[in-house]
Structure 1
């Protein structure tokens, strides 16, 4: 989730926030073929990478037991399809189309191999049933589940497939390697509630897991979710001219996500948890691929898992859906620590994405190369920065040595060298490169209008762009026509050529998310904004786990500061079932909360957290709870009405490739 999680969500509270706005179609057009420039670019990839190395194809098939039933179609309890592996099977046995980077096509063929696999005796995985794997580790009497997918339907399908071939073993433990949703969302479908209540199931997660699991997609969740619909290709048909997965996995399921608070929290390196006769030694890796993440080793099985920090792809130091920049230096150091700690013993390396690595020498070599690709990007970006090159220059200049660049697991199927260099730059130096001409540029619409004016008008720019398109200068065409579209979103010719340029860039991209962004942008330019299913995390479990303090912080994000200017509203909220009370104040254009209620509040509201959850989920309004005697309000009701009138709601389907003002 992302992967990276995760990764592809609309965020908690979306039911309170989203007012879907449909953009009108500009012009309808089917995907176009690859140009000669794109065909040559993709053909060059075949010459430059070691396609004769087929070890990954042997490894991805190793231990195969059974395919996913029903051709990999998974439905929820309501009969809605939440996952469909079969839509990716077009790649099986085919050579790469000229509309696909051959390296990304190779990764798709590997990822499309789904089903139940034996990793090693007592460790089994179901792959290809969601963005992430679900792993089953057999103890003496039961099974421990690692990272149960995004949704209850896909995790349930994985558990059923495992049990069909390995017996009906009870789940006695769950390990969440980190805080992205594709590693915890299906937990309630694998845990027996009675066994959990009786203390017979352990749920193990790293320190900060719940806070990070809930918070990542809250404060900027609406924006992040919209971009995730591009990143994960949710809006694209699957095929050689459309979506090919993400490089980390095939896509994201769209079912219900759940969350159970851990019973065992890992707070220090070397912490041991014993589950059903097996020993799990944990080491924390915060601030790497996720803010809360951990590695572990099981000595009885000589098995190591490095969560999402060692994969068969270059990962993201910055995820294009939007998130905090990750620490490449720390990421590398955690992999180095794993080599020092367990590198002499491990015989199998498995994770929540991709296929395992077997054999001690191969494991150490793999982890070293993954360690060093992040270390190289970190160190060389800083070297270039200290030599005086800016972020864009450094990202263009970055060249990895062949021993890293031609190692298949280091290819940029999910992250990319280009945007990871920009991430390192931002981690240390922020967005500004020091050139005062770039300190305060005009925003896109205003800049677009001036740019078009300087270039002699839209027709002149479009004519030049058409010539550059014919010459294969797609990056420049996209850059220049973005200005024209921002200046005039109704310019169909400009949008047509811009869409064509983005499409060719997508066809050439090795990174799954880059391809998805380019092709999604082209689709939106041609056909307007279309509301399609995307993963959501606004489930009761996740809302229940959100502390009230976090909810108040989110209200502060929704507060329209300009409308709140000059107002002072003092409110008390009492959660009757938790015996907790807060003071919430609007003043100076901001919202703050206090751990104690006010003596002179304008309005006081008493409500149980359970009833308030309905309000958070958007299933009811607070006024409806008051009218139904499930909440009480004392003081001035006008004050509360005034407060709610200061809160903005967020539209989810905002335009990405055209100006916001055009809606």
Structure 2
């Protein structure tokens, strides 16, 4: 089924498309498009790609069109492929606009779950794949140019709005920014009334919508998405420019495409709810093929399942309304994967017999069942040839990839195959982790401690530490109690007395300690960090206590 994806790659041929005089769309430089809008005394950029490296390549070609200063950047939403190249385009006077929710979401998530989202996004987008290992495209773009060798050039928004619409006049160009939640809760679309152009961001692209992303997201609200598509239809624009895939030209073509797109989302949403109310689980709905797009929707070029899929959407919609519990009683308290694997292998007659059954399942083209058996054997393989097991595991994954129409699913299978063979290990580089820390606010650097807290090491101890950053005069408290970390802004005399007061010369020093580019001992020796007691007096004896505190946040 990957033939469709191969043909789909034509959508992402690297090019600068001039949609209208002064409006240029860069396609195929990375996962998303970046848009250059020329103004009288400067230029405007909409979305900035996923890395410094991608942005630098686009900027070279944009500069050939116009080398005027970038007066403004507009973020359509918080996804990394739209914001991580901003520093390449911006100068000290550049304004960066977004919805207020964009900054809220980034503040909460940018470094909170970085290790796992890096790994899962790498699998979904196939960032470790190349032509030799099967990479074709990413369903909505050429490739995600962000792996362990890339760098972020993210800059936070300077100007945000929280109304439903916001007007901007920049360099003789008029924009109206509309809040239009869809693929994300902070989504905006951008209307240029004089030019009759609508920038659609990720609310439409030439693939079935990704109501749930397997890289790991909350389910996108289908009803919000439909409402935003209705808003977009009502503009009756002549030009629609998405942030992924090519622009659409012509009022009727745009209106009809948006209509089909919103109708497909509503169809899957409504029919899923219909079967939910009959008491069916996602496995039953999908396994019995109860929801399939009607021919008119299924055949539409913008509804091919190259990115999102109907089946993943069914699962996501179920989860959005009813949560993780399927309603099947045995799902209430499932055994651990290891116990389930042990029971499965015992039921199958032992590891060698189960391996033979997996091989038979493969011959019978029962690839999903073969994969389930092999995944069980990976936990109990003492009696098997591990190299042979991994080779067969990889073969199953590659076969499933060949049958997968979604680039996301295909990339996941092929990337997992490389991991099984031991060819790759996916994790952010040390340099990227450091970059994340230094791009974060000091408040977020302290907040993230709570999700890195090893409560077993703490052994139920109670501890209160005050932090004071001399350069900004910011104060924070961190209290360990009941096996949690409670970080609070500021501290005052009404609080109980702390075990330690940590005086830090600059926020940058603390970021160096957190990122391990400077050891706590070095910082203490240089008097970049000073330890004080409850009365605010120098307390050299507290150094060991401080080091022990930091060790509570290591694996």
TM-score normalised according to structure 1 size: 0.77
> How do 1:438-517 residues align onto structure 2 when only pairs under 5 Å count?
438-488=331-381, 491-492=385-386, 493-517=388-412
Is residue 621 of structure 1 aligned with residue 519 of structure 2? yes
Aligned match of 1:87: none
Unmatched tracts of structure 2, length 5 or more: 534-541
* Mapped pair 1:393 → 2:275: no
> Using the alignment, how far apart are the partners of 1:556 and 1:155 within structure 2?
34
For the pair 1:371 / 2:280, whether they are aligned, the reply is no
Helix, strand or coil at the partner of 1:441: coil
Which residue of structure 2 lines up, in the alignment, with residue 259 of structure 1? Answer: 154
In structure 2, distance between residues paired with 1:191 and 1:486: 50
- Structure 1 residue 323 displacement after superposition: 2.0
After TM superposition, give the deviation of residue 307 of structure 1 in Å.
Answer: 1.1
Please name the residue that 1:30 is paired with. Answer: none
Distance 1:531 1:370 in 2: 35
The 3-state SS of whatever aligns with 2:445 is helix
Matched, 1:604 2:498: no
8 Å contact from structure 1 (residues 123, 136) kept in 2: yes
Matched with 1:242 is 134
Query: Is 2:185 the counterpart of 1:285?
Result: no
CA distance 1:217–1:482, shift in 2 (3 Å)? farther
Deviates more, 1:530-539 or 1:427-436: 530-539
Shift of 1:368: 1.4
| Higher deviation after alignment, 457-466 or 545-554 | 545-554
- Cα offset, 1:302, TM superposition: 0.7
Greater shift after overlay, 150-159 or 528-537?
528-537
CA contact (8 A) 1:455 1:461 kept: yes
Change (3 A) 1:315 1:227: same
The alignment partner of 1:261 has SS state of: coil
Alignment of 1:513-662 (within 5 A): 513-527=408-422, 529-530=424-425, 538=433, 540=435, 543-544=437-438, 546-597=440-491, 598=495, 600-607=497-504, 608-635=506-533, 636-649=542-555
Instruction: For residues 311-358 of structure 1, give each alpha carbon's deviation from its aligned partner in whole angstroms, at most 9, with x where no partner exists.
Output: 111232221111222212211211112223x12xx1100022111000
1:313 aligns with one of 203, 207, 222? 207
Deviation at 1:214, TM superposition (A): 4.4
Quote the Cα distance in structure 1 between the aligned partners of 2:138 and 2:156.
29
Q: Which has the higher contact order (CA 8 A, sep 6+)?
A: 1
**2:38 matched to which residue of 1?**
138
Aligned partner of residue 633 in structure 1, secondary structure = strand
Looking at structure 1, the residues matched to 211 and 335 of structure 2 have their Cα atoms a distance apart, in angstroms, of 28
* Alpha-carbon distance change, 600 to 532 in structure 1, aligned in 2, over 3 angstroms: closer
Decide whether aligned partners of structure 1 residues 630 and 425 sit closer, same or farther in structure 2, where only a CA change above 3 A counts. same
Find the partner of 1:178 among 52, 77, 89: 77
Which deviates more from structure 2 when the two are superposed, residues 355-364 or residues 455-464?
Answer: 455-464
Distance 1:535 1:272, change over 3 A: farther
Quick one: distance in 1 between partners of 2:136 and 2:431? 21
1:208 match: secondary structure:
helix
Q: Per the alignment, in what secondary structure is the counterpart of residue 19 of structure 2? A: strand
Structure 1 residue 234 displacement after superposition: 2.3
Which deviates more from structure 2 when the two are superposed, residues 543-552 or residues 270-279? 543-552
Q: How many residues align?
A: 536
**Secondary structure of 2:7's aligned partner:** helix
Structure 1 residue 236: Cα displacement? 2.2
Contact 2:520 2:547 in 1 (8 A): no
Q: CA deviation at 1:644?
A: 1.6
1:105 and 1:143 map into 2 onto residues whose CA distance is 35
| Alignment CA distance shift 1:535-1:306 (3 Å) | farther
Q: What is the CA-CA distance between 1:491 and the residue it aligns to?
A: 4.7
Residues 1:153 and 2:53 are matched in the alignment: yes
What is the CA–CA distance in structure 1 between the aligned matches of 2:390 and 2:479, rounded to whole Å?
Answer: 47
Aligned to 2:166: 271
The CA RMSD over aligned residues, in Å, is 2.1
Q: Which one of the candidate residues 104, 128, 150 is aligned to 2:28?
A: 128
Shift of 1:153: 2.7
The one-character-per-residue Cα deviations of 1:468-517 (angstroms, maximum 9, x if unpaired) are 21121111211222222233276534433332221111011111111111
Q: Does 1:105 align with 2:6?
A: yes
Query: How far 1:539 sits from its partner (Å)?
Result: 6.1
Mapped partners of 1:532, 1:226: distance in 2: 6
Q: 1:590 to 1:353 in 2, by over 3 A?
A: same
Aligned residues of 2:127 and 2:145 also touching (Cα < 8 A):
no
